[in-house]
């Protein structure tokens, strides 16, 4: 798992990510794999204290992950990624779990985890500011 690889395995992180699946609490909204990746980046680079400076001072790597995800998959919306528009329809759950879309979710989660490791490897321990990320993404034509 990504936590083990990054050296911060913690039961609380697993608990915090519990409801990311099926697009956040089965709403089909925001992709849980992307949400989890951003959470890991927050653990690595985020503020330890909400009064400890602006989030934009360290959110550049999260923006890079977000833009990569959009480019790679075309959307950040779970229901669009899976083709199951109503995850709250409990009759659809077994169909989703038996589908290729569900298997793609697992692969996508692994791909996001690999991208997070890549971004952290490139970035090292220094957080990337939002300003730096915007400049880099504009230079690559991604913004």
Average the pLDDT over 114-140 and give the result: 91
Residue 136 has pLDDT above 80, yes or no: yes
Give the pTM: 0.86
Residue 1 has pLDDT above 60, yes or no: no
For 38-94, what is each residue's pLDDT tens digit? 999 998 888 877 776 677 678 899 999 999 999 999 999 999 999 888 888 888 888
Domain edges within the chain: 2-139
The angle that helices 130-139 and 60-73 make with each other, rounded to 10 degrees, is 40
Distance CA(83)–CA(143), nearest Å, equals: 27
**Tokens matching residue 121:** 């490897």
């Amino acid at each position: 798992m990504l936590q083990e690889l990054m050296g911060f395995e913690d039961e609380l992180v697993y608990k915090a990510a519990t409801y990311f699946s099926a697009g956040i609490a089965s709403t089909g909204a925001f992709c849980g794999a992307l949400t989890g990746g951003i959470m890991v980046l927050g653990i690595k680079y985020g503020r330890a204290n909400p009064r400890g400076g602006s989030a934009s001072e360290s959110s550049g790597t999260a923006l890079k992950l977000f833009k990569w995800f959009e480019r790679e998959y075309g959307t950040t919306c779970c229901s669009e990624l899976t083709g199951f528009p109503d995850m709250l329809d409990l009759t659809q759950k077994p169909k989703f779990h038996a589908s290729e879309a569900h298997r793609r979710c697992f692969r996508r989660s692994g791909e996001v985890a690999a991208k997070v490791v890549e971004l952290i490897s490139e970035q090292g321990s220094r957080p990337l500011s939002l300003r730096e990320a915007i400049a880099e993404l504009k230079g690559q034509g991604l913004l």
